[in-house]
Amino acid sequence: MNGAESLVRTLLAGEVDVCFTNPGTSEMHFVAALDQVPGMRSVLVLFEGVATGAADGYYRMAGRPASTLLHLGPGLANGLANLHNAKKAGSGIVNIVGEHATGHIALDAPLTSDIEGIARPVSHWVHTSRTAAEVGSDGARAIAAARTPPGQVATLLLPGDAAWDAGGIVAEPVTPPERAAIPDAAVDAAAEMLRQPDTLLLLGGVALGEDCLDLAGRIAAATGCALLTEWSNARLERGAGRVAVSRIPYPVDQALGVLAPYRRIVLAGARPPVAFFAYPDQPGVLTVEEASFVELAGIGADIAGALDALSFSVGGDKTAPAGIAGAHRPDIPDGPATPETIAPVLGALIPEGAIIVDESVTTGRRFFAETNGAPPHTWLNNRGGAIGYGLPAAVGAAIACPDRKVIALEGDGSAMYTVQALWTMAREQLDITVLIFANRSYRILHGELAAVGVANPGPRAIDMLTLNRPELGWVDLARGMGVEGCRVADTRALARAIEVGLATANPYLIEIEM
Ligand SMILES: Cc1ncc(C[n+]2csc(CCOP(=O)(O)OP(=O)(O)O)c2C)c(N)n1
């Protein structure tokens, strides 16, 4: 057995059985091993940012890592933005990156680069295998690193000779660390804070799972505290029958308003809220100056156990949870598709069990209120702010959950970054309905321009934020990659198109003229 085959077998032994690949010469032995070893679902993608974003979406929904196969430094570099997003989301990924054979590196061939250096800022764990005999055990350690709570990015460099040499040894899985138990003192401090007025319980990470939200709702009922989440959540369970939580808004003035009442904040898997960007004359910290914080549980700690103990401590076990969303389907309004009118269309049509991948940017700011009462569904946000996460994450989510409908909500600007994901959706026949909000602009940046103090932007500045010259033809782009679609401009046509998309088990793209 060569090193590459030992790695594939080690990945399978560690329950890493999906690989998003974009290989080159240096990865050929790994590719060949995929044929020798049954059980690895290998999914070809046409850009590495699709591979890394898909692995992020996969982890969020499957709860275990996928692998990627990337071609040397440049292939890895193409995937960096979505590895950044995955790292911020706490998603576990095992990157396998081909490296030149050890003796070839000294020759400084065209594709030679500092791969470890490229990997390090977006990886929690980086290692280069030295020999075929070590590849298996290195792979097992990479999986354990990726499975370290809440989930980490592990990057294993596989030199050509370590892959092709005989002497590979399959390694047993290495047990990753458990989520750290929360000391009683942290629970007591949180309970003490929650007994006082003007207190907020800010939730993140696995606190946004259904059972944890139930506990948070009980804590809110027992203490009167408010519940919120950060603006971007890796995975939020929501919909009718679940405890509904609002997100802290993105615009700084709105965030400041929402957080103004709270002088005491308990953190459960969330960080103290800060603005995405600095703006002249605006604070970066979004909470009031005198706010004090108690961290109940960090993102990688036993958040569920902590919320359970906290709920018991404040008497939450004796009450019903506060804030459960009632079932409600809004009426579909008539008229042109706008951010205001699209929101109730979604609220009316999101099916039970849907996975919503949200990269809607400005169009989606009103989606939450109108979709609260839809049947139970899952909502994924971009945690890292690097756009181009949505279509790839939808690929990963659909592969993780083949029995669920995936709806990708995409700004047209964001969708272009990783548009190649459509081809993989078609090739793998994934059940994804893609909504493209074709406002022909980077609309958010118009607001950002004003927010940083540019009062009268000139035509050249506006031109840098405008996507209408030429207009992107989304239905043609989709067809060219094997995805059916249609173009709509009003709410009734949009509703019909969503129904068409949801009725098929294949990908379907809807370009929404707005
Ligand atoms: C990798 C990366 N490049 C650039 C940006 C800056 N950026 C943030 S939002 C945005 C435009 C988003 O446009 P679109 O998806 O069409 O949404 P809209 O603003 O029109 O609602 C850009 C370019 C970014 N966040 N990430």
Cα separation, 219 vs 193, whole angstroms: 12
Distance from C-alpha of 24 to C-alpha of 70, rounded to nearest angstrom? 8
Q: What's residue 348's pLDDT?
A: 98
Extract the tokens encoding 158.
Answer: 């596989």
Q: CA 236, CA 205: separation in Å to the nearest integer? A: 8
Give the whole-angstrom CA distance, residue 24 versus residue 21. 10
Atom 12 of ligand 1, residue of closest alpha carbon? 442
User: Is pLDDT of 171 > 90?
Assistant: yes
Look at the alpha carbons of 239, 245, 250, 254 in this order and tell me if their dihedral is positive or negative: positive
Per-residue pLDDT at 286? 98
Q: DSSP assignment, residue 300?
A: T
Residue 357 pLDDT > 90: yes
Is residue 362 in contact with ligand 1, taking CB distance under 6 Å? Answer: yes
- Reduce the DSSP state of residue 501 to 3 states and report it: helix
Kindly give the pairing relationship between strand 236-238 and strand 377-381: antiparallel
Ligand 1 near 338 CB (within 6 A) = no
In eight-state DSSP terms, residue 276 is S
Q: Is the CB of 84 under 6 A from ligand 1?
A: no
Q: Separation of 395 CA from ligand 1 center, angstroms?
A: 20
Evaluate whether 432 touches 408 at the Cβ level (below 8 Å): yes
Ligand 1: atom nearest CA of 417 is: 1
Closest by Cα among 360, 468, 472, 480 to 420? 480
Q: How far is CA 106 from the centre of its chain?
A: 38
Q: Is the CB of 94 under 6 A from ligand 1?
A: no
Q: Is the CB of 512 under 6 A from ligand 1?
A: no
pLDDT in tens, 296-347: 999 999 999 999 999 999 999 999 999 999 999 999 999 999 999 999 999 9
Q: From the CB of 98, is ligand 1 less than 6 Å away? A: no
Indicate the residue type of 315. G
The residue among 334, 402, 390, 337 whose CA lies nearest residue 82 is: 390
- What sign does the dihedral 278-281-286-291 (CA atoms) show? positive
CA gap 26, 97 in Å, rounded: 9
Task: Say whether 238 sits in a helix, a strand or coil.
Answer: strand
Q: How far apart are the first and last CA of the chain?
A: 57
Q: Which of 234, 235, 236, 293 is nearest to 259 (CA)?
A: 293
The predicted model gives 27-39 an average pLDDT of: 92
pLDDT at 364: 95
C-alpha to C-alpha distances, 13 to 116, 190, 426, nearest whole angstrom: 26, 41, 29
With b for 16 or more beta-carbon neighbours within 10 A and e for fewer, the 403-413 pattern comes to ebbbbbbbbbb
Q: What is the pLDDT averaged over residues 63-83?
A: 98
Q: Which tokens hold the place of 133? A: 């005999």
The partner residues of 18 in beta bridges, in order of sequence, read 41
Residue of the nearest CA to atom 16 in ligand 1? 413
CB 415 within 8 A of CB 394: no
In this prediction, residue 233 carries a pLDDT of: 98
Predicted confidence (pLDDT) at residue 450 exceeds the cutoff of 90: no
DSSP 317: G
- pLDDT band with cut points at 50, 70 and 90 for residue 263: very high
- Whether the CB-CB separation of 229 and 258 falls below 8 Å is answered with no
CA of 437 to the centre of ligand 1 (A): 13
Q: Whose CA is nearest to atom 9 of ligand 1?
A: 444
Cα–chain center distance at 48: 16
**Does residue 455 register a pLDDT over 90?**
no
The dihedrals phi and psi of 437, each to the nearest 5 degrees, come to -85, 90
Q: DSSP letters along 105-124, please?
A: HTTT-TT---HHHHHGGG-S
- Answer yes or no: is pLDDT of 398 > 90: yes
Contact 264, 292 (CB under 8 A): yes
pLDDT at 456 over 90: no
CB 234 within 8 A of CB 205: yes
Nearest CA to ligand 1 atom 1: 386
pLDDT of 247 higher than 90: yes
pLDDT at 318: 97
